[in-house]
Structure 1
Amino acid sequence: MRILRTPARLRPRSVRAKIVALLMLPIVSLMALWGFAAVTTASSIGDTERAKNVNAELLTPVGEFVTALQTERSAAVRYADEPDAFAKAGAVTDEAAAALLEGINSSSSDAALLDTGLPERLAALKADAEGLTELRAAATAKDAKPSVAYTRYSAVVQHGFSATGALTGDESTDAASEARVVLELGRAREAVAREQALLAAAKERGTLTREQYAQFVGAVATQRELLAPGVADLKAAHRTAYRKVLDGDAYARVQSVEDRVRGEGPGAQAVSAAALAGWDTAVSGVIEGLTAAETGAGTGATAKADPFGWGTLGASGVAVALGLVGVLLSLLVSVLVGRGLILELLDLRNSALEVAGRRLPQAMRRLHAGQGVDIDAEAPMRRLAGDELAQVGTALTAVQRAALKAASERAELLSGISGVYVSLARRSQVLLHRQLDLLDTMERRQHDPAELNDLYRVDYLATRMRRHSESLLILSGIAPGRGWRDPIPLADVARAAVAEIESAARVQIWATPRVSLAGGSVADVIHLLAELVENAVSFSPPSTKVQLRAARLREGVLVEVEDSGFGMNEEALAEANAKIRSDRVDLLDAKQIGLFVVNRLRERQGLRVELRQSPGGGVTAAVLIPEALMRDDMPMGEQTGHDRGLAPASALIPRQPDGY
């Protein structure tokens, strides 16, 4: 199974970025879900608000206009008997028409967005409202027939229902009780109004024509097919008003007349006074009741709908509110948890850097300097408790304690080795001093040049052994036993240093400045120069010379030891100079012990020592003796104290030429 890996450039680099990415993923998902719920709820609010605007600006005026037209239609067919009723109905219709035209002209809703055919239907209805004068003139003409008025008014009413159908086609909101059902109930009310107009026209004429009879029967069938089933489909709250009408005496009387007229058929008997007894009052009451119920179930409910009420928001509103609370709580918890985790990680990182960069190195330096370190005080052990980060801190403390313990044990080991060095060096020095005293006595008694030369060679070897013994003391941090009180000429110091190596004849000492070295520094400078000269002699061909020069500078005296050997590369030179300048000496490093001896002597006397490439291809060791250690009085007296360090030199200098 192949594991897909995220490209490196897309991965968070810091721990902070990783934690933020980890915490933000569920938050972003939750915010997306909350955003969807919020958009859905906002859409519901917008739909309800739009439905209210459509209802106030178009639906209500259209409904009122249609109702007024229905009343005016009934009055128009009875115009000959009741002209005042027609005029009164016309005034009501004019007010409804004015409201309709104002609503159409000022509507804030785009009709084409509600229904593609709505603009055309509204235009036809607007034309009907503006053409009421012409319609009334045709209906009230002397030769006008009631059937013509009935037909023309009914056509306008149909235009109104056509516009209402387009306006109620938006099913995005349920603020109204099934708007399409209410529309069908409106058509049922229109059928009742037609029945009223047809019988009114027939009553005025004195007979019910076949055409009127067919229209009446069709209207009765329409209202009975639509009214009862439509009421059954309404919400319980809106069904009550309709049931009150349907269960009332007026509707029962209307049904009774309808049945009688259908039973009588066309003719005068169907519209006789006996057949239509109580009809006008009953049918008018039914129409008024249906109109009121329709208003409450349709446009009235829409007008009362609250965009921010429970009916609109409902569960989605609760989900939006709870989702917002959840998002805010998630953000708060994520910020607090993430910030706390980041702070803990930063504290852990800072603690680790503090241990690695300051506390542990300081403790190591104290251990290397021979000072004791309290491990419990430096790194107190914590109990393994808490979360994983606390356990990591405990593990770091354990690592620190282990490092301090190892360094302490190493320091104890080095201290033990140093003690061994000191003990061996002291014993060797005692034997060497006795050997040198014996050699000095033998040199004074011997007169044979060959034998004397052999004694000098043994003296050289003993002197080298004493220097090596002193090196052990120097590495252990103890000053060697020999020393001078008075200043010693630099030339004698150089000769004494050369005298402590075996191949002294290969060293050429050039003229030195006429200065003296302070007595307290003579032994260390001799030892340091002897180490450098012996190193130069050891790493150069036997046929070559080692040059020893000295020059006076403003800062002091510069002594150079130059060989013509194979030299050292840049890396080896850098490593050697690092050992010379290092502030610590590793006694377990067996390689180039002479450099560690030079390091200790340089540090003790404040000298500056550097190895560099020489022009001839070898190596030059430069030693700068500071001005504070120099004297210009050049005392010429003999050395004070019985020190065998200068004995071989004093013995050789009179016998051999200057510059070996």
Structure 2
Amino acid sequence: MRFRNSRVRTKVTALIVSLAALWAFAAWVTLRDGINLAWVAVYNKGVAQPSETLLLELQQERRMSVTRLADPGRVSRSALEAQRARTDAAAANFRRLADGGDVRLAAGDDLRQRIDQAFQRLNQLGPGRDAIDAGHTDRAQAVAAYTDVADALFQTYYALATLHDDEIAKDTRTLIGLNWARELISREDALLAGIIAEGRFTGSEAAQFTQLVGAERYFMAQSQTDLEQADPAAYARLSKSADLARLHTLEDLVSQQGRPGGFVPVTAEQWQQASSHALTQLHDIVATAGDTLVGRSTPVAAGVILRLVLAGVLGLVAVVASVVLAVTTARTLVRQLEKLRAAALELANERLPGVVERLAQGEKVDVAAEAPPLEFGGDLIGQVGAAFNTVQETAIRTAVEEAQLRQSIRDILLSLARRTQSLVHRQLTLLDVMERREADPAELKDLFRIDHLATRMRRNAENLIVLSGASPARAWRRSVPMVDVVRGALAEVEDYTRVTVLPMGQVGLTGRAVGDVIHLLAELIENAVSFSPPYTTVQVGGQSVASGYAIEIEDRGLGMTPEDLDATNERIANPPEFNLSSTARLGLYVVSRLAERHGIRVSLKASAYGGTTAVVLLPRDLVIEAGEELSGEDTGPLPEQERGARRIALVGAPEVVPEPAQEVVVPVPSAPEPPRPAPPAAFTPGGLPLRVPQASLAPELADQPPSRLDDEDDRRSPEDIRKIMGSFQSGTRRGRSEAAKLAREGREGEDDQ
């Protein structure tokens, strides 16, 4: 029971699992958002605050290093070393907090990667300091050494701005933009401090200062626009700041009057006072806004987690209820489906095949009795069961109607085939009379061609008889030599001149199988000739084997693939039920039915010449070995072979490989004695007794030497020979006509009696 219902139960289980997985996924998404917001405090404590302190120290050390490179007297070595110590302490604190377990747990892959990159930039700060102390670098390279570390720290800020809460993420990006504007002011301060210490602008420093001012104004304006909605108080302080206004005035003055090689239009005290106040005010605004942002994220995270708890509990209750409902429903559904499946299997495996078999045997079938209605209830499954009742009734009724239609089609085919066969027999009889009466070779040749067409028409009519399930009317009471059977098959093939008949041996075929074997061989030979090039030949040979007699038909065509050979052999060995859709394989169907009727085995195989070889294995009970019936008086040429011999004489003959001659040993005594008759079982390939010269002469005549023909006989003209043969033919025809007349009068007399 468990295995039979595994598919339905598996689907129900999969439905339950998918529902639980969907609930778990929704819960996890909600929980992740809450945890992400709850981790804002972790990011702020472990990354934002220590990195901001480190950034301030790096900005101060950058300004002092650039000033000392321009004028060592303005910044002492001890002051620079003290500042470096503060920078290293801030860097160590940043490493410790950012590399902590809570930050690593809360941070994503992107944030962890950017923190590691900041650590690498800090490690590269030492060689830059050594170059500054040794004087091996200029002010621009010194600024770049510190700027790389600052850029890496800002990359960690950008990773923090990817929170799942849109408002908090937007406010975070606003603060980052404001802090970036402060970094640009710090870079202006370091650059201009070095220029003031140098006393004049060198190289492209004026252009660099102007570029920094433009970038700082852009980020400042953008951040103020976003800050107006996020934190109005911070925006008011920033927009009304006198320190920033004073700084912007000095920036404009330096940008307008600064020229390469020119002097700085402001003093060091003026610039330092304005820049330091502006930097301090911006730092306070960013720090205050950051604390506010962290405070806003905490209640939002708590609300998300609360909603998660409520949704999770309610969702879990819904999942449990769904599981219970699905299990109970599945059990009821499985029981009803089992009943429906059993009924369907019974219909498909027992009742419907039984009905079809009984119909094939000609029995009457009651549709109502064979399709009793089944009760499944009034629910949806019951409606399906009612539909199944209709289906089974329709199926059985359709099977009955189809069987009747098939039988009607077979009867129609049989009737048409019998009529056609009768007409063709009459046509062949009339043609035989006309052939015997005609003396003109040209007209006789045309008559033989018409005779050949009629013979092929008869085979097609017999195909219809076989397809209808009946047996052709042609039958023989006597056995026939096997070579005559093959020649009779050739008489029914269109391109018989392309067929080579190999020696068949001194065997015969029982009369009851002659007609069907001729038909079977004709179909196979016709197939071999049709599917091979016109310049090739088809060989037909036979020999006795352990289980009977084997006839091989080999063509030189393109052959068949192994898959096609297997499919064709299977179709021949197990012929399917004939239907109107199998018209492409009618020849194989006829062959399979004829072979099945006599227990003949037919198989196809690949030929060594690239074509196909058909092997026809006749069972031993159909084969007459030499010396049995073939030596009696019942054997003789077939009617088809007799007419075919006359037709071949004018139209063309197939190539026949002669049988190996049998040596007849006649002892020669010292004194003349009468010739002895031929030994029994000595026959010609055509089945006639082998003639021995002078075997029928009287003993007194046998002693006389044979007389020689007169020389005048050798000089007879063709006209004389034609007259002699014409007289012989006329006498033969007259004798046959009289014999036929006597036979007809005898039949009429019997009818009168």
Q: TM-score band (shorter)?
A: 0.3 to 0.5
- Report the structure number with the largest CA radius of gyration: 1
TM-score between both structures, scaled by the size of structure 1: 0.47
Higher RCO by CA contacts (8 Å cutoff, separation 6 or greater): 1
TM-score between both structures, scaled by the size of structure 2: 0.42
